[in-house]
Structures are given as C-alpha cells and as structure tokens.
Amino acid sequence: MQRLLVLSIALAATLAAQNKSPRIFNTVKTKLAQGKQVIGGTVSSSDPDIYCAMANAGFDFTWIEMQHSPLSYSEVAKMVYACRGASAMPFVRVPDDSEGDIQKATDLGAAGIIVPMVESMEKIRNAIKFAKYPPLGKRSQGGGNYGAIWGSDYRGIANDNIMVVAMIESPAGVDIAEQLAMEPGVDVIFVASTDLGSFTGLRQGDPKYEALVTRVHDAVLKHGKILAGPLAWRERHGYKFFQAPGESAVIRTGAASILKGAPEDGAKKGVAVIEGSEKK
C-alpha cells in the first residue's frame, strides 16, 4: 500500500512537470500575445554604452543590425552581455541563414532572429532549423552567453522563447507570403518598405506598391501571424511589430529636444542633473 502511494505521488509529480508551462523570458513574445504593439530601436554601433542606452531607452527590443554593418559576433556578444537585464530584448538581423550565422546569434543570447531577403521557403526553414534545438530543429549545444543571460534552464525553454522574423523585401518574397504565414516556426513577417520600393521601382502610395503590401497583410493576418513594418506604419491596420530608427537618429532627435529647452532625462526644468546620477 505504501509503495502504491509513493508511485502515485511520483506519477503525479511527473505529470505536473510535463504540464507545467515553460518559463517565458522573451517579453516581446508576451506583449504580442497580449495584443500589444512592440517597437525595436536599431543598433549598428559596437559601443556597449551606446547599446545599453538604446536597450534601456524604453524600446521593447533592440534590432541589432548585422546585415548592413561591420558588426562582428564577438562585438555583439560583448554588447548584449554588458547590458544583460535590460528591458529591451536583443534581436539580431543576421547576414544570412547559414548554420554559423544563426547559431552564433542564438548562442550570444539573441531572443529573436531576423532573416533578411526571404525569397524562398528553404531560406526561412534553414533559419528555423538552426535557431531551434531538437526535436524542432538542429541547433547544436555549445558555448556562449545564453545561460548567463537567460538562466540555467535555457536548454529546456529556448525553443519557446526564440522568435523568427522573416523579412519580405522583394516581389519574390511577396509571392511566398502565404506560405511563410503558414510555416510553423515563423513568428513575424516583416514588410521592408524601402527595399520593396527599391526592388519594384515603386513608391509608397502607388496603387501597384500598395497592392503588394496588401497581399502580404492579408496573408499574414489570415493565418494568425504577427505583421511587421517600419515605425512609420504604426497606424496601418494589423501591424504589431516595428523597426524604429537607429542610434544616430535617436541622438539627433534627443539633441534637438534638449536644444529646444526640454529638460534632461530625469531632471526637473531649471534643475541641472547631478553628475553620476544620469540614467544609463
């Protein structure tokens, strides 16, 4: 009888562990699930202080730009680790869908992988495969900052936290929008407004341009995925995930605000900030 009781308790504990929801550290995922919009500030500088300023400025995530910048994975790893605990989740726009690019980004602690120039299902499937641990993917275990940043249980919760963002930048990408929206493992589909104009020779507002955007919009919302675009599209219907300007633009905007007489961050008007007390 006692043995039966012990076995019953053990079975109940096992079932409880199996039914326990995974710990979600990715606040972008949580906010999107709540129907909220999220905004990411773009970072191309390797300076950890600049990165931390952006990561703690109020953005939901940082869009770490590795496609169109000379940033190295070593530099990005130091930036993200230096600002572990920041309110903004680190998302990395990788240069390519290769195993090396994706796994280096995830190992350094990226909570999101942004895949540029998606024009084939093979490309996004590669990204998903290398961003996810088995049984969902083929990400191998190795060194990196991920455990120090997200906790010792990282291996068991990574698949539930890491998000994959597919960027549509050309008509070829538009043509597979519905397939992308149906693909398990794709969380967000981003309409790259400027590149779509560059590849088509059309401008925003042109009926032919807007028809392409509408095709993506309708496909993404039809299949329940998150629709993304530039911050200027914040008022467009259905968009939830946005890329904001980079640190240079943020500095210019902040400087313009200060020069117009706005008080420094955390200060009252007419009262100087005490050196050393500024927000980091």
Average pLDDT per 10 consecutive residues for the chain, totaling 280 residues:
49 49 96 98 97 97 97 98 97 97 98 98 98 97 94 97 98 98 98 97 97 98 98 97 95 89 69 66
What was the pLDDT predicted at 15?
Answer: 42
- CB within 8 A of 52, min separation 6: which ones? 82, 83, 86, 280
What was the pLDDT predicted at 2?
Answer: 56
Question: Two tokens at 229?
Answer: 């675009």
Instruction: Name the CATH superfamily, with its identifier, for domain 24-259.
Output: Phosphoenolpyruvate-binding domains (3.20.20.60)
Gyration radius from the chain CA atoms: 21
- CB within 8 A of 189, min separation 6: which ones? 165, 166, 168, 177, 180, 181, 216, 220, 225, 226, 227, 228
Question: Two tokens at 20?
Answer: 């326990």
What was the pLDDT predicted at 20?
Answer: 73
* Total Cβ atoms within 10 A of residue 180: 21
Q: 0.75 exceeded by the pTM? A: yes
DSSP 3-state of 220: helix
What was the pLDDT predicted at 260?
Answer: 87
Ordered by start, the domain boundaries in the chain are 24-259
Residue with tokens 């039809």: 222
Rounded to an integer, what distance in angstroms lies between the CA atom of residue 242 and that of residue 103? 24
DSSP 3-state of 7: helix
What was the pLDDT predicted at 13?
Answer: 44
Residue 69 and residue 50 in contact, taking contact as beta carbons nearer than 8 Å:
no
Q: Rounded to the nearest 5°, which phi and psi values hold at 187?
A: -95, -40
